[in-house]
């Protein structure tokens, strides 16, 4: 991933600032940078969204295609992820430079989103065992300025919200042969319920505190970070530790307190820093409501909306 | 301004694809009206004083028809009265999508200047483009687009200062659309409402196609036919094999019977028999239908009964009885797969020629129409001019066949003229043989070279200048489309140079343009008696391409160097410029050759050619080429009345065969050349060897005169025909050759990449094509293009090298060729009838050509006429007939008829059925009591008195 070089003095400055809940750009530790979301930006996809977070910009397009359900879950559709680290984002991605990051990102996204508690996979099924919708989620990194996971997850949620899958029904003849039939009304389409689609919150441990939405400089000061996927109810669906440093579990008391509310999901998290998890949940939960409101507002504007697009 | 159009579509693999197209809106699309000063248009189409006399719209107005009006009422729109019409792009696109023939007719109308039809591209106009809304069907959107465009027009024209009440009138037959348009304040009428109020032209009403509510009135509520299945069900049924798809062919003799030809894997087709009105289920001849096989126990065999649907008087009970009769006649053995029609996949309705049966009720406006083609059912039409139309040949189009109607409903299209008149009958036979014979459209004519035309230096770049050569053409008298010319001269080395020069039509007809497409569709020029239906416009056929004498013409030359034994030493193809020195007829050329006193260049050249041709012919016959014979007659046509006044069989002269010989040689040389160059896509002509069973009749006939015919090879056949002679019967050999001709297969065009058998049986040539008549055959144009590419004189184009496209083209050419021959024969038959009509009853000598179960077929050599003498007739008891298939012989009472027997017959015209006039023959010699008739005297009544 894109890196910056930070001198020791700078590191101390950043570290001390965070200790006092005041970051270089004036934010407090749990504040995000300015975020922009726009949906329906690529006309030849079934759903798309563009998100910029500070100077990080990502574009997500979703194409729905008819495929065969996985044999173990015959009544569910599934999602496929591909992350393209464009050399536009940073020169490091040139050639095959972005490949490793891309694979890592898409694997994580697959883990976070392709499960039935995140997306209503059953609604993607057309006929059990034979036809289902496969959503191909293509993520394009346009610019890297830290905190890719959060930006991508917001963009995916927005794009899923925007996704319109053509309505089909199966016609069967006497012989039992089945065929997909398409409605001739382009407005006749299925929307996904994205309420429970999680957002990813990346928490960077800097010194003894943690920050969300770390800039590249802050990231350079951090030894380890925790990625957690949080739904609108505050349920943690996935967690992953990144970076080489260690995260030590803090006070047992705090942990038990947490356990009372969400004991199930924390069972596997006890190895992690509980305060981090709590902070992540708090931040993540707070992220959903305004995002949904924004998306609905945008949707209600309909075709009159002036599109900005990713070039604007 | 850019918009994008989005739609989803199913892919062939079963997936779903979202397609996004860019759609540009413009503000420089003009209205096309003369009355408009706002639009910056260079020229206008619509007139300012657009007046069609109408009691509904007394003011000047433009018409805007919607899609259904164009699709169904095209016959009315084509009338010259209907002018100043705005065709919206929405309508044009929908029409194109739904019916190719109507689209073509609409395009032709738009091209025609005097119709003042204007296409308004409303879909790209910034103010008239609309997007489909949620919950709106595609049709509703298009209707709205039409309304928006009409609204725009009426406002656009209103703001003009100079308008005097110019209005735009929307024509629709859709009630909902009409109401919505009225809400928007538009002037809107139903189409029939509008047409009925045209004060000047009341006869247009007859051409209105019946709309749905009218149809309901006509027919009883009783449901006569099972419902047709929807297309989606048919398709899945065909996929699963429960239904079969095939072409419906009605029986000529029995209106309750038909066959469906189902195309199986590869070449083989299966036939499914359909019997009974219910099972036929409203399918009309040539429709593509889906059939379901009946269980084996219900299979029947085709009946031998002749049934003609003859009457308005008949009701359904009678049909039932006739159907029963049909069942009983079906023998237990020889049952065939039988099925029923469950749906129609594609209607192949065209306007049909025929005549009107007047309704018995005098005031009735509904009448039955009987098509000339017996395979087409009667059609119910509505007309107010029935009394004028009676006795005329008219055209009628089918509009639909509701399930509660015994007959299809249709409307009158136009009258062709009185039945029996020459012009009318000619038109009928052209229409019935599907010969495209309309005048060339403006669009086609626009691709003709501009006159005065001359040869430019650019033309000369890839051409050889052969103007100095003594070239001449030899053709039948009166020929104006001369496509070949010849020359022959001695070279310094003692060899002969022979050139065949063919009109360079491909220079004028460039691939892909409207002229080329029209020619490709027509396929061939059709020669009728006294009339020629050109494949290319007259400017080309009779002038620029015709190799007339003493003018410079472009040619495609095939030049050989030959020795005096007519062996080819060198072959050379080149585009050239020639200047023919003489256009001769066969007789003139013959006279020059025979006149030993003539020593000029032309004559010397002809003599050289003639000498070589004789050698060539001998060689060809040695190889086994067949010389067959068919009687061709030529009518002497009265120059004023255009009636035939005399009739003679065509004579063949040495010069005929001279020209033919070199044409064959050129064709073979070219065929070899293009096949070498393009093994995959050369257009060739083949003539398959007939299966031995075809020769049965010939062998039997010859045997009856103790003559042996060998059919092992073309060579054997040719040799045995040459030696077949019977003493005292000089005409025998010709008769035998006529019979042999009937045994042959049809020669066809094909694409070399799609076939492996190239052999031409009749000419005994391993490869053959048509190169020498590009003015009258389209195949030759393709061959010219191929040859031009192979010698680097022209460029190629994708369709030329596409063997599938070429194969499709060959199919069309073969079809047109066949139809043109039928039309030609029908024309000869009609003229023969005219000839005998004026002659009364004639007594002539003839030969028995075939023997049938109840008749003999007699050939009259003098007229080249063939006719049937029936021995049984409906109104009197049949004489005893004994038919022996081995002979074949027919014994009538005491007299036995063999093939080749000499008989005498009377010939007269039977015009009892005005639609199907025919030549009737009756036997006078040998005399058989009760069968033969007396030879007529001058009095025609003599026919009636029978010998006792």
DSSP string, B841-883: -EEEEEEEEEE-SSEEEEEETTTTEEEEEES-BTTBPPPPEEE
Kindly give the pairing relationship between strand B568-585 and strand B463-465.
parallel
Q: Is A300 helix (H, G, I), strand (E, B) or coil?
A: helix
- Token representation of residue B273: 């028999």
CB B502 within 8 A of CB B774: yes
Q: Please judge whether B4 and A43 are an interchain contact, meaning their C-beta atoms are less than 8 angstroms apart.
A: yes
| Nearest CA-CA distance, residue B670 and chain A, Å | 52
Q: Please judge whether B8 and A173 are an interchain contact, meaning their C-beta atoms are less than 8 angstroms apart.
A: no
CB B206 within 8 A of CB B75: no
Residues of B whose CB is below 8 A from A180: 10, 14, 16
| Nearest CA-CA distance, residue A85 and chain B, Å | 25
- What phi, psi does A118 have (nearest 5°)? -90, -50
Rounded Cα gap, residues B910 and B887, in angstroms: 31
| Nearest CA-CA distance, residue B247 and chain A, Å | 24
Residues of B whose CB is below 8 A from A173: 233, 236-237, 239-240
Task: Using a CB–CB cutoff of 8 Å, tell me whether A302 touches chain B.
Answer: no
Q: Please judge whether B20 and A175 are an interchain contact, meaning their C-beta atoms are less than 8 angstroms apart.
A: no
- Token representation of residue B258: 């038909």
- Token representation of residue B676: 């070498």
Rounded Cα gap, residues B157 and B120, in angstroms: 14
| Nearest CA-CA distance, residue A27 and chain B, Å | 42
Is the confidence at residue A268, as pLDDT, over 70? no
- Report if residue A306 sits inside a domain: no
Give residue B311's pLDDT: 46
**Which of B14, B19, B233 faces A180 most closely, judged by CB atoms?**
B14
Write the DSSP string, B170-212. EEE--HHHHHHHHHTT-EEEEHHHHHHTBSS-GGGGGGPPPPH
Give residue A248's pLDDT: 62
CB count in 10 Å sphere of residue B707: 18
CB B9 within 8 A of CB B19: yes
B936 band by pLDDT with thresholds 50, 70 and 90: low
Query: In CATH, what number is assigned to the domain containing residue A172?
Result: 3.30.230.70
**Nearest Cα to B498, choosing from B404, B413, B616, B359?**
B616
Rounded Cα gap, residues B636 and B792, in angstroms: 47
CB A117 within 8 A of CB A196: yes
Strand partners, A125: A132
The segment with the largest mean pLDDT, out of B646-650, B732-736, B861-865, is B732-736
- Report if residue A56 sits inside a domain: yes
Is the confidence at residue A267, as pLDDT, over 60? no
**B839-940: CATH number:** 2.40.50.140
Residues of B whose CB is below 8 A from A44: 18-20
Q: Please judge whether A44 and B240 are an interchain contact, meaning their C-beta atoms are less than 8 angstroms apart.
A: no
Give residue B908's pLDDT: 79
Give residue B444's pLDDT: 86
- The string of pLDDT tens digits covering residues B494-504 is 888 999 999 99
**Which of A44, A175, A303 faces B240 most closely, judged by CB atoms?**
A175
- What phi, psi does B654 have (nearest 5°)? -55, -40
Rounded Cα gap, residues B32 and B38, in angstroms: 11
Which of B206-210, B559-563, B577-581, B646-650 is the least confident region?
A: B646-650
**Which of B7, B10, B233 faces A186 most closely, judged by CB atoms?**
B7
Is the confidence at residue B323, as pLDDT, over 60? no
Q: What is the 3-state secondary structure (H, E, C) of B3-43?
A: EEEEEEEECCCCCEEEEEEEEECECCCCCCECCCCCCCCCC
Task: Using a CB–CB cutoff of 8 Å, tell me whether B235 touches chain A.
Answer: no
- The string of pLDDT tens digits covering residues B749-766 is 998 888 888 888 888 888
Is the confidence at residue A127, as pLDDT, over 70? yes
Residues of B whose CB is below 8 A from A186: 6-8, 132
**Which of A44, A66, A184 faces B14 most closely, judged by CB atoms?**
A66
**Nearest Cα to B90, choosing from B27, B33, B25, B139?**
B139
**Which of A66, A175, A177 faces B16 most closely, judged by CB atoms?**
A66
Give residue B244's pLDDT: 85
Is the confidence at residue A97, as pLDDT, over 90? no
Alpha-carbon torsion (B820, B824, B829, B833), positive or negative: positive
**Nearest Cα to A109, choosing from A147, A149, A71?**
A149
Give residue A63's pLDDT: 92
> Total structural domains in chain A?
1
- Residue B650 is given by DSSP the state P
Share above pLDDT 70 across residues of chain B, in percent, rounded to a whole number: 86
Greater confidence (B802 vs B203) lies with B802
Q: Please judge whether B10 and A180 are an interchain contact, meaning their C-beta atoms are less than 8 angstroms apart.
A: yes
CA B281 to chain centre: 28
Phi-psi region at B209: left, alpha or beta (left = phi > 0; alpha = psi -120 to 50): beta
Residues of B whose CB is below 8 A from A166: 8, 16, 18
Is the confidence at residue A266, as pLDDT, over 50? no
Give residue B945's pLDDT: 37
Task: Using a CB–CB cutoff of 8 Å, tell me whether B7 touches chain A.
Answer: yes
Give residue B21's pLDDT: 83
Fold assignment, B22-208: Rossmann fold (3.40.50)
Helix extents (H) in chain A: 8-19, 99-113, 148-162, 216-221, 252-261, 263-266, 274-301
Q: Please judge whether A173 and B236 are an interchain contact, meaning their C-beta atoms are less than 8 angstroms apart.
A: yes
- Report if residue A3 sits inside a domain: no
Is the confidence at residue B848, as pLDDT, over 90? no
- Residue B777 is given by DSSP the state B
Is the confidence at residue B697, as pLDDT, over 90? no
CB count in 10 Å sphere of residue B86: 26
- Report if residue A188 sits inside a domain: yes
Kindly give the pairing relationship between strand B288-293 and strand B865-870.
unpaired
Q: Is A206 helix (H, G, I), strand (E, B) or coil?
A: strand
CB B124 within 8 A of CB B1: no
Q: Helices B803-839 & B778-790, crossing angle to 10 degrees?
A: 140
- Cα-Cα end-to-end distance for chain A: 26
Give residue A116's pLDDT: 84
- The string of pLDDT tens digits covering residues B229-246 is 888 888 888 887 788 888
Write the DSSP string, A125-189. EEETTTEEEEEEEEEEEEE--S-HHHHHHHHHHHHHHH-EEEPEEEEE-TT--EEEEE-S-TT-E
- Residue whose token pair is 């015709």: B546
Give residue A260's pLDDT: 40
Rounded Cα gap, residues B358 and B732, in angstroms: 51
Q: Please judge whether B6 and A182 are an interchain contact, meaning their C-beta atoms are less than 8 angstroms apart.
A: no
Give residue A251's pLDDT: 36
CB B138 within 8 A of CB B7: no
Rounded Cα gap, residues B246 and A159, in angstroms: 50
Rounded Cα gap, residues B283 and B702, in angstroms: 45
Give residue B164's pLDDT: 63
- The string of pLDDT tens digits covering residues B527-556 is 888 788 889 888 888 888 888 888 889 999
- The string of pLDDT tens digits covering residues B8-60 is 777 766 677 888 888 888 888 888 888 887 888 888 888 887 777 788 888 88
State the architecture of B350-432 in CATH terms: Beta Barrel (2.40)
Q: Please judge whether A186 and B242 are an interchain contact, meaning their C-beta atoms are less than 8 angstroms apart.
A: no
Is the confidence at residue A247, as pLDDT, over 70? no
- The string of pLDDT tens digits covering residues B659-675 is 888 999 999 999 999 99
Greater confidence (B92 vs B99) lies with B92
Mean pLDDT of chain A: 82
Mean pLDDT of chain B: 81
- Residue whose token pair is 């045994």: B743
Rounded Cα gap, residues B760 and B772, in angstroms: 17
Exposed/middle/buried for residue A241 (C-beta within 10 Å: 0-12, 13-18, 19+): middle
- Report if residue A311 sits inside a domain: no
ipTM rounded to 2 decimals = 0.70
The segment with the largest mean pLDDT, out of B89-98, B876-885, B903-912, is B89-98
Task: Using a CB–CB cutoff of 8 Å, tell me whether B21 touches chain A.
Answer: no
Strand partners, B496: B490, B562
Phi-psi region at A146: left, alpha or beta (left = phi > 0; alpha = psi -120 to 50): left
**Nearest Cα to B512, choosing from B502, B501, B520?**
B520
A312 band by pLDDT with thresholds 50, 70 and 90: low
CB count in 10 Å sphere of residue B63: 23
- For chain B, where do the domains classified as CATH 2.40.50.700 start and end? 350-432
CATH of the domain spanning B231-346, picked from 3.90.1150.10, 2.60.120.10, 2.40.10.330, 2.40.50.690: 2.40.50.690
B106-135: b or e for each residue (b if 16 or more CB lie within 10 Å)? bbbbbbeeebbbbbbbbbbbeebbbebeee
**Nearest Cα to A200, choosing from A113, A140, A114, A299?**
A113
Q: Is B911 helix (H, G, I), strand (E, B) or coil?
A: coil
- The string of pLDDT tens digits covering residues B452-467 is 888 888 888 888 888 8
Q: Please judge whether A186 and B132 are an interchain contact, meaning their C-beta atoms are less than 8 angstroms apart.
A: yes
Q: Is residue B498 within a helix (H) or strand (E), and if so which, with residue range?
A: strand B496-503
Query: What is the domain range of residue A297?
Result: 8-301
Share above pLDDT 90 across residues of chain B, in percent, rounded to a whole number: 9
| Nearest CA-CA distance, residue B214 and chain A, Å | 31
Is the confidence at residue B110, as pLDDT, over 50? yes
- The string of pLDDT tens digits covering residues A155-167 is 999 999 999 988 8
Give residue A254's pLDDT: 40
Sequence-distant (6+) residues with CB within 8 A of B91 are: B65, B66, B67, B70, B146
Give residue B560's pLDDT: 92
Sheet holding A209-212, edge to edge: A209-212, A199-206, A224-230, A236-242
B314 band by pLDDT with thresholds 50, 70 and 90: very low
- Please give the average per-residue pLDDT across B409-432, as a whole number: 82
How far CA B609 is from CA of B464, B637, B665, in Å, comes to 22, 33, 12
B297 band by pLDDT with thresholds 50, 70 and 90: confident
Greater confidence (B380 vs A179) lies with B380
CB B781 within 8 A of CB B774: yes
Rounded Cα gap, residues A194 and A216, in angstroms: 30
**Which of A43, A65, A175 faces B6 most closely, judged by CB atoms?**
A43
Q: Please judge whether B134 and A187 are an interchain contact, meaning their C-beta atoms are less than 8 angstroms apart.
A: yes
**Which of A180, A182, A185 faces B137 most closely, judged by CB atoms?**
A185
- For chain B, where do the domains classified as CATH 2.40.50.690 start and end? 231-346
Rounded Cα gap, residues B486 and B475, in angstroms: 11
User: Is the pTM here over 0.90, yes or no?
Assistant: no
Task: Using a CB–CB cutoff of 8 Å, tell me whether A174 touches chain B.
Answer: yes
Which of A21-25, A213-217, B695-699 is the least confident region?
A: B695-699
Q: Please judge whether B236 and A171 are an interchain contact, meaning their C-beta atoms are less than 8 angstroms apart.
A: yes
Give residue B770's pLDDT: 92
- Please give the average per-residue pLDDT across B395-415, as a whole number: 83
CB A31 within 8 A of CB A213: yes
């Amino acid at each position: 991933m894109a890196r910056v070089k930070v001198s020791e003095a700078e590191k101390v400055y950043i570290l001390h600032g965070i200790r006092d809940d005041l970051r270089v750009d004036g934010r407090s530790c749990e504040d995000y940078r300015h975020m922009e979301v726009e949906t329906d930006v690529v006309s030849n996809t079934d759903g798309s969204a563009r998100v910029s977070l500070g100077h990080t910009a990502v574009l997500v397009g979703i194409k729905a295609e008819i495929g065969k359900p996985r044999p173990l879950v015959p009544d569910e559709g599934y999602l496929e992820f591909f992350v393209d680290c464009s050399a536009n984002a940073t020169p490091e991605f040139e050639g095959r430079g972005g490949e490793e990051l891309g694979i890592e990102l898409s694997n994580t996204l697959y883990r976070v989103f392709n499960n039935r508690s995140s997306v209503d996979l059953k609604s993607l099924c057309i006929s059990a065992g034979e036809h289902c919708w496969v959503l191909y989620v293509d993520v394009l990194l346009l610019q890297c300025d830290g905190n890719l996971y959060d930006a991508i997850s917001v963009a995916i949620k927005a794009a899923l919200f925007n996704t319109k899958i053509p309505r089909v029904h199966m016609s069967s003849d006497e012989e039992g042969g089945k065929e997909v039939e398409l409605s001739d009304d382009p407005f006749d389409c299925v929307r996904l319920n994205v309420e429970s689609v999680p957002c990813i919150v990346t928490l960077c441990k800097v010194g003894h505190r943690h920050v969300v939405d770390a800039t590249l400089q802050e990231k350079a000061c951090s030894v380890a970070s925790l990625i957690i996927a949080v739904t609108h109810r505050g349920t943690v669906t996935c967690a992953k530790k990144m970076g080489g440093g260690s995260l030590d579990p803090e006070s047992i008391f705090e942990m038990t307190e947490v356990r009372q509310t969400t004991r199930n999901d924390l069972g596997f998290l006890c190895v992690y820093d509980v305060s981090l998890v709590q902070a992540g949940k708090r931040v993540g939960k707070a992220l959903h409501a305004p995002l949904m409101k924004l998306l609905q507002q945008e949707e209600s504007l309909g075709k009159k909306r002036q599109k900005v697009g990713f070039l604007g | 301004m850019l918009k994008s159009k989005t739609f989803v579509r199913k892919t062939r693999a079963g997936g779903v694809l979202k397609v996004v197209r860019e759609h540009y809106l413009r503000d420089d699309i003009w209205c096309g009206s003369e009355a408009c000063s706002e639009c910056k248009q260079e020229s206008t189409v619509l007139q300012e004083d657009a007046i069609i006399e109408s009691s509904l719209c007394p003011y000047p107005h433009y018409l805007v028809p919607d899609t259904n009006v164009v699709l169904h009422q095209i016959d009315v729109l084509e009338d010259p009265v209907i002018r100043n019409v705005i065709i919206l792009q929405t309508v044009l696109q929908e029409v194109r999508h739904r019916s190719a023939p109507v689209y073509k007719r609409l395009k032709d109308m738009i091209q025609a200047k005097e119709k003042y039809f204007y296409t308004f591209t409303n879909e790209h106009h910034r103010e008239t483009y609309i997007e489909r809304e949620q919950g709106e069907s595609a049709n509703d959107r298009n209707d709205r687009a039409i309304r928006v465009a009409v609204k725009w027009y009426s406002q656009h024209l209103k703001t003009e200062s100079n308008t005097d009440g110019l209005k735009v009138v929307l024509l629709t037959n859709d009630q909902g659309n009409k109401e919505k348009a009225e809400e928007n304040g538009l002037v809107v009428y139903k189409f029939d409402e509008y047409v009925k109020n045209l004060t000047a032209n009341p006869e247009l009403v007859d051409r209105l196609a019946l709309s749905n509510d009218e149809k309901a009135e006509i027919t009883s509520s009783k449901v006569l036919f099972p419902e047709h299945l929807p297309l989606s069900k048919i398709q899945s049924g065909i996929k699963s094999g429960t239904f079969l798809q095939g072409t419906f062919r009605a029986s000529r003799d029995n209106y309750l019977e038909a066959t469906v030809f189902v195309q199986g894997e590869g070449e083989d087709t299966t036939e499914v028999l359909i019997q009974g009105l219910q099972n036929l289920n409203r399918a009309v001849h040539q429709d593509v239908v889906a059939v379901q096989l009946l269980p084996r126990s219900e299979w029947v065999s085709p009946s031998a009964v002749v049934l003609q649907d003859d009457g308005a008087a008949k009701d359904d009970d009678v049909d039932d009885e006739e159907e029963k009769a049909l069942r009983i006649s079906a023998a237990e053995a020889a049952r065939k797969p039988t099925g029923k029609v469950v749906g129609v996949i594609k209607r192949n309705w065209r306007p049909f020629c025929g005549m009107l049966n007047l309704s018995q009720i005098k005031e009735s406006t509904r009448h039955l129409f009987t098509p000339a083609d017996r395979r087409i059912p009667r059609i119910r039409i509505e007309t107010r001019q029935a009394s004028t139309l009676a006795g005329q040949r008219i055209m009628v189009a089918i509009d639909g066949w509701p399930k509660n109607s015994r007959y299809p409903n249709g409307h009158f299209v136009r009258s062709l003229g009185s039945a029996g008149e020459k012009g009318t009958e000619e038109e009928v036979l052209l229409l019935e043989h599907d010969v495209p014979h309309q005048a060339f459209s403006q669009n086609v004519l626009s691709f003709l070279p501009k006159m005065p035309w001359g040869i430019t230096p650019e033309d000369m770049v890839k051409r050889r200048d052969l103007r100095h050569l003594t070239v001449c053409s030899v053709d039948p008298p009166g020929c104006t489309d001369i496509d070949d010319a010849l020359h022959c001269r001695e070279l310094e080395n003692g060899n002969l140079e022979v050139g065949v020069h063919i009109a360079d039509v491909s220079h004028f007809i460039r691939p892909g343009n409207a002229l080329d497409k029209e020619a490709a569709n027509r396929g061939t020029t059709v020669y009728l008696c006294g009339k020629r239906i050109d494949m290319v416009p007259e400017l080309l056929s009779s002038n620029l391409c015709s190799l007339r004498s003493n003018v410079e013409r472009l040619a495609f030359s095939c030049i050989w160097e030959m020795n005096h034994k007519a062996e080819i030493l060198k072959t050379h193809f080149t585009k050239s410029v020639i200047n023919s020195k003489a256009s001769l007829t066969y007789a003139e050329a013959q006279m020059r050759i025979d006149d030993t006193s003539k020593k000029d260049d032309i004559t010397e050249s002809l003599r050289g050619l003639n000498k070589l041709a004789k050698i060539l012919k001998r060689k060809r016959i040695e190889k086994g080429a067949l010389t067959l014979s068919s009687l061709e007659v030529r009518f002497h046509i009265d120059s004023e009345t255009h009636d035939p006044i005399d009739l003679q069989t065509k004579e063949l002269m040495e010069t005929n065969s001279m020209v033919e010989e070199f044409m064959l040689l050129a064709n073979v040389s070219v065929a070899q050349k293009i096949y070498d160059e393009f093994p995959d896509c050369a257009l060739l002509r083949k003539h398959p060897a007939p299966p031995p069973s075809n020769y049965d009749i010939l062998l039997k006939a010859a045997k009856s005169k103790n003559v042996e015919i060998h059919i092992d090879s073309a060579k054997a056949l040719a040799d045995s025909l040459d030696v077949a002679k019977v003493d005292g019967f000089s005409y025998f050999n010709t008769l035998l050759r006529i019979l042999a001709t009937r045994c042959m297969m049809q020669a066809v065009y094909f694409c070399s990449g799609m076939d492996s058998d190239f052999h031409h049986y009749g000419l005994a040539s391993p490869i053959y094509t048509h190169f020498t008549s590009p003015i009258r055959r389209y195949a030759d144009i393709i061959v010219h293009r191929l040859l031009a590419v192979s010698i680097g004189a022209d460029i190629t184009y994708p369709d030329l090298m596409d063997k599938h496209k070429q194969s499709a083209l060959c199919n069309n050419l073969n079809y047109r060729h066949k139809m043109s021959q039928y039309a030609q024969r029908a024309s000869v038959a009609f003229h023969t009838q005219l000839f005998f009509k004026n002659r009364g009853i004639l007594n002539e000598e003839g030969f028995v050509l075939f023997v049938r179960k109840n008749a003999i077929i007699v050939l009259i050599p003098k007229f080249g006429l063939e006719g049937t003498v029936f021995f049984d007739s409906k109104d009197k008891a049949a004489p005893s007939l004994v038919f022996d298939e081995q002979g074949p012989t027919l014994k009538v009472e005491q007299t036995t008829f063999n093939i080749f027997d000499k008989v005498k017959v009377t010939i007269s015209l039977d015009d009892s059925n005005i639609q199907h006039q025919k030549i009737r023959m009756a036997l006078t010699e040998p005399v058989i009591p009760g069968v033969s008739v007396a030879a007529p005297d001058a009095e025609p009544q003599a026919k009636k008195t029978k010998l006792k």
